[in-house]
Amino acid sequence: MKKFAVIDLGSNTFHLLIVEKKPDNTFETLFRKRVFTGLSDGGIQLIKDDRIKYGLATIREFKEILTSYDSPTLRVVGTAVLRTAANRQIFIDQANKILEKDIEIIDGNTEANYIYKGIILLDELRTGTQLIMDIGGGSTEFIIIKDGAKLWSKSFQIGVGALHETFHTSEPICDTDILLMKSSVLNTVKDLLPVIDRYKPTTLSGASGSFEVLQMMSGIDPQTTKLTSVSPEYFNTLYETIISANYEQRENMAGLPKERVKLIVVGMVLKKIICDLIQPSKILVSPYALKEGILSEMLEKE
């Protein structure tokens, strides 16, 4: 069986997925790994030197893993921070050399389309009207689907890296900063508002990113390949717990990964803004997103 691999160089997290193609054109996962690299730490206009070093060390690790799996057919994609950072080319050139493969820098709307292709690999997401939300370090993608068909999608330059830098100015975050962030976000995503009014999605489905924290803090293994559900009531309780906690208190919260302690507050506020807009009857967390969408395209073309 032929092997395929995708590396997703996200603004906060690098992902490696290696699969084997099955005769029915589906895939079996052989290996998956994610490493929180924090390239967007401090925003997406400049990658800090220590983040470049750590990101390149992670890529060297990924290269060794790929070699151990007999170098599968590979695609490497970069998103928001690698689209915008002034010093991105320094990182890209060195990463290309390590991987012996050029990184594809994809725009936000292409990213949204791949997220859609990944999401609909899950049969449960092919029913009803849903708002898909993928929160990243440098951008957030929104997709509206009905019975599996994409009705609308757009990428917005709001990511938790820049949101934290701008709006999380105290510990715990203050009400004024939450209100300022809400005003800024609603202004940025204004194109989304009439679309919500038109299609009236009843489910919020989160793809990867900070939505996985909802799984972890409710005791669900984030490595699951199954769709999981979180009640809006549980989300609201967790939201209040997280925004009222300072950094040290968040560090000691069960299920909250250390690498998420810094950015989780603005991530939760962003989710809360959208939940208040659509009043979802349920919140789903999808294990599939960008990398699975790219993989789906690779298998189709094979």
Per-residue pLDDT tens digits of the chain, which is 302 residues long: 899 999 999 999 999 999 999 998 889 999 999 999 999 998 899 999 999 999 999 999 999 999 999 999 999 999 999 999 999 999 999 999 999 999 999 999 999 999 999 999 999 999 999 999 999 999 999 999 999 999 999 999 999 999 999 999 999 999 999 999 999 999 999 999 999 999 999 999 998 778 989 988 988 877 777 899 999 999 999 999 999 999 999 999 999 999 999 999 999 999 999 999 999 999 999 999 999 999 999 999 88
Do 68 and 162 reside in the same domain of the chain?
no
Q: What is the CATH number of the domain that holds 259?
A: 3.30.420.150
Do 129 and 39 reside in the same domain of the chain?
no
Q: What is the CATH number of the domain that holds 13?
A: 3.30.420.40
Do 139 and 266 reside in the same domain of the chain?
yes
The torsion angles phi and psi of 51, rounded to 5 degrees, stand at -75, -35
Do 166 and 257 reside in the same domain of the chain?
yes
Per the structure, how many domains does the chain have? 2
| Residue 85 and residue 46 in contact, taking contact as beta carbons nearer than 8 Å | yes
Do 40 and 100 reside in the same domain of the chain?
yes
Helix axes 290-301, 108-119, angle to 10 degrees: 80
Do 158 and 95 reside in the same domain of the chain?
no
- Identify whether 119 is part of a domain: no
Do 58 and 195 reside in the same domain of the chain?
no
Q: How far apart are the first and last CA of the chain?
A: 12
- Identify whether 159 is part of a domain: yes
Angle (CA) 35-138-12 rounded to 5° is 10
- Identify whether 291 is part of a domain: no
Tokens of 199: 């299609």
| Residue 62 and residue 7 in contact, taking contact as beta carbons nearer than 8 Å | yes
Do 91 and 131 reside in the same domain of the chain?
no
| Residue 156 and residue 188 in contact, taking contact as beta carbons nearer than 8 Å | yes
pLDDT score of 226: 85
Q: Which domain holds residue 101?
A: 3-106
- Residues 51-106: tens digit of each pLDDT: 999 999 999 999 999 999 999 999 999 999 999 999 999 999 999 999 999 999 99
* Count of H-run helices and E-run strands, the chain: 12, 11
Strands, E, within the chain: which ranges? 3-9, 13-21, 27-36, 73-78, 104-105, 129-135, 140-146, 149-156, 203-207, 228-230, 282-286
For tokens 């508002």, the residue is: 193
